[in-house]
């Protein structure tokens, strides 16, 4: 794989800084909305457990809101923020089932605390439901700016009374604190374990109406290709009825990527283990990303391939020649470390901006090709959002076309939909734009 012309590399780096906060949704528009919605620190998790007071099922919805997402107001030498949360639940017919509205307040922070990428507030709400399929919608509204964000997720609420042995959903654990016999669990709602050292834990409940006194828990970790990367066994003593379970999972050898946990329960006193017949089953997804890695980057090999717009030939060769995953990770991070505008902070703004543009291109320009590989995706990643867009989708006797204008380099790109199926191809020579890279400066 060959890298692009060095002039292009300089142009991309300059564009990453000059247009770092310009983006629009849907199609590329003339807008000044930023890219953060692709990688913003707002997460939810929706988990089910057997209700303690009825034969129904309890749905616990967690919301993780990063401080850097909020607008803090200075009061004296401290900073405050307020936001509104709305939890809405719909059934399979899109009928409203339940809705909860509440306000969260954060007060008395220092300036550094208010902008810390590691600081967040966690909310939890519970709803008791009949078993069925539902849709959960969580809306966050900043009460200072009135800007809203929403996450929608389908959820299956099972009937834990239908069988004699069952297990709840898995809750990823960020931290466990024990004081005597009292144990406190802090949930990990981001579903990322890459920043957790050593091992991470999952919490769940076991509903034991079989009156088994012990159970063998077999935990499989599967990668994105559904291949097993690790297996571990845990023997657990059970009591009748509800049991709390906490299983630690070693993840130090997991490379960057998306994974799933498959946790099965076997009776160690029967032939079910040899036959592979489990008495209970639960699962969930998670990811492993190290500190500073953008949210959308979950495949190291693909992330390296996507560097072709900015990497030099020798840099790509070094990445391709790395013999192990660990070496490849080290070379990759060194590549970005050299380009970090603020090396004293854990974030790398240029890396974040680059992969946000890649994520946006994939979201908006994909058809038979991934969006980042298309002509529109390429131009967007290199130059950012255009200053002006001129669309001609229905002109008589002409194929659909678009013109993207960039005032900073005094240049326009023309894309024509040759097939009529939204496959816009660049017909403007891009070399002239590369020659004008000095307009934005060199990296």
Three-state DSSP string of the chain = CCCCCHHHHHHHHHHHHHCCCCECCCCCCCCCECHHHHCCCEEEEEEEEECCCCCCEEEEEEEEEEHHHCCCEEECCEEEEEEEEEEEEEECCCCEEEEEEEEEEEEEECHHHHCCCCCEEEEEEEEEECCEEEEEEEEEEECCCCCEEEEEEEEEECCCCCCCEEECCCEEEEEEEEECCEEEEEECCCCECCCCCCEEEEEEEEEECCCCCEEEEEEEEECCCCCEEEEEEEEEECCCEEEEEEEEEECCCCCCEEEEEEEEEECCCCCHHHHCCCCEEEEEEEEECCCCCCCCCCCHHHHHHHHHHCCCHHHHHHHHHCCCHHHHHHHHHHHHHCCCCCCCCCCCHHHHHHHHHHHHHHHHHCCCCCHHHCHHHHHHHHHCCCCEEEEECCCCCCCCEEEEEECCCCEEEEEEECCCCCCEEECCCCHHHHHHHHHCCCC
Closest CA to 12 of 404, 348, 379: 379
Q: What is the mean pLDDT of residues 77-89?
A: 97
Per-domain residue ranges for the chain?
Answer: 6-38+294-439, 40-158, 163-291
**CA-CA distance, 409 to 391, in Å (whole number)?**
20
State yes or no: pLDDT of 430 exceeds 60: yes
For 29-33, 41-45, 141-145, which range has the lowest pLDDT when averaged over its residues?
29-33
Would you state the pLDDT for residue 255?
Answer: 82
Torsion of CA 362, 151, 259, 194, to 10 degrees: 100
For 25-29, 30-34, 37-41, 146-150, which range has the lowest pLDDT when averaged over its residues?
30-34
The chain-wide mean pLDDT, for the chain, equals 86
Q: Are 51 and 32 in contact (CB under 8 A)?
A: no
Decide if 40-158 and 163-291 have a common fold.
yes
Q: What is the mean pLDDT of residues 232-252?
A: 91
Q: What is the pLDDT of residues 292-332, one digit of tens each?
A: 777 778 888 899 999 988 888 899 899 988 988 888 888 99
CATH assignment of 163-291? 2.60.40.10
Would you state the pLDDT for residue 280?
Answer: 93
CATH assignment of 40-158? 2.60.40.10
Higher pLDDT, 433 or 218: 218
| Residue 3 pLDDT class (50, 70, 90 cuts) | very low
Would you state the pLDDT for residue 38?
Answer: 58
Q: What is the pLDDT of residues 353-407, one digit of tens each?
A: 899 899 999 989 998 899 999 999 999 988 888 999 999 888 877 899 999 999 8
Q: In what order do the strands lie in the sheet with 228-237?
A: 228-237, 214-222, 257-266, 280-288
Q: What are phi and psi of 362, to 5 degrees?
A: -65, -35
Higher pLDDT, 59 or 273: 59
Q: What is the pLDDT of residues 97-139, one digit of tens each?
A: 999 999 999 999 999 999 888 899 999 999 999 999 999 999 9
Q: Give pTM, 2 decimals.
A: 0.79
**CA-CA distance, 29 to 46, in Å (whole number)?**
34
Q: What is the pLDDT of residues 195-231, one digit of tens each?
A: 777 789 999 999 999 889 999 999 999 998 899 999 9
Would you state the pLDDT for residue 94?
Answer: 95
Would you state the pLDDT for residue 196?
Answer: 76
State yes or no: pLDDT of 291 exceeds 90: no
């Amino acid at each position: 794989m060959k890298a692009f012309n060095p002039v292009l590399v300089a142009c991309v780096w300059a564009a990453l800084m000059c247009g770092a906060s310009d983006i629009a949704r849907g199609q590329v528009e003339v807008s000044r909305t930023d890219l953060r919605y692709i990688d913003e620190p707002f997460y939810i998790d929706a988990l089910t457990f057997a209700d303690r007071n009825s034969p129904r099922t309890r749905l616990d919805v967690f919301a993780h809101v990063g401080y850097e997402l909020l607008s803090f107001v200075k009061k004296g030498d401290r900073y405050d923020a307020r936001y509104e949360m709305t939890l809405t639940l719909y059934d399979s017919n899109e009928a409203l089932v339940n809705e909860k509205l509440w306000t969260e307040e954060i007060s008395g922070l220092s300036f550094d605390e208010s902008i810390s990428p590691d600081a967040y507030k966690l909310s939890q709400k519970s709803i008791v439901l009949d078993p069925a399929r539902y849709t959960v919608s969580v809306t966050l509204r900043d009460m200072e700016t009135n800007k809203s964000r929403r996450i929608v997720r389908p959820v299956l609420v099972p009937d834990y009374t239908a069988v004699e042995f069952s297990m709840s959903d898995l809750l990823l654990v960020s931290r466990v604190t024990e004081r005597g016999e009292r144990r406190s669990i802090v949930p990990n709602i981001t579903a990322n374990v890459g920043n957790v050292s050593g091992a991470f834990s999952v919490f769940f409940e076991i509903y034991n109406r079989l009156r088994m006194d012990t159970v063998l828990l077999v935990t499989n970790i599967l990668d994105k290709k559904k291949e097993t990367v690790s297996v571990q066994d845990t023997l657990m003593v059970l009591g009748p009825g509800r049991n709390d379970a906490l299983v630690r999972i070693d993840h130090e050898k997991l490379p960057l990527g998306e994974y799933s946990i498959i946790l099965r329960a076997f009776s160690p006193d029967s032939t079910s283990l040899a036959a592979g017949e489990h008495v209970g089953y639960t699962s969930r997804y998670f990811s492993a990303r190290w500190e500073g890695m953008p949210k959308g980057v979950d495949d190291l090999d693909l992330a390296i391939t996507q560097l072709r717009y900015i990497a030099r030939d020798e840099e790509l060769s070094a990445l391709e020649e790395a013999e192990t995953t660990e070496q490849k990770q080290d070379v990759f991070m060194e590549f970005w470390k050299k380009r970090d505008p603020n090396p004293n902070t854990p974030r790398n703004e240029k890396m974040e901006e680059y992969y946000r543009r890649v994520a946006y291109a994939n979201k908006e320009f994909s058809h038979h090709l991934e969006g980042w590989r298309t002509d529109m995706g390429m131009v967007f990643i290199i130059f950012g959002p255009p200053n002006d867009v001129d669309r001609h989708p229905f002109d008589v006797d002409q194929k659909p076309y678009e013109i993207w204008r960039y005032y900073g380099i005094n240049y326009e790109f023309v894309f024509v939909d040759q097939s009529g199926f939204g496959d816009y191809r660049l017909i403007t020579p891009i070399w002239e734009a590369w020659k004008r890279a000095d307009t934005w400066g060199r990296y």
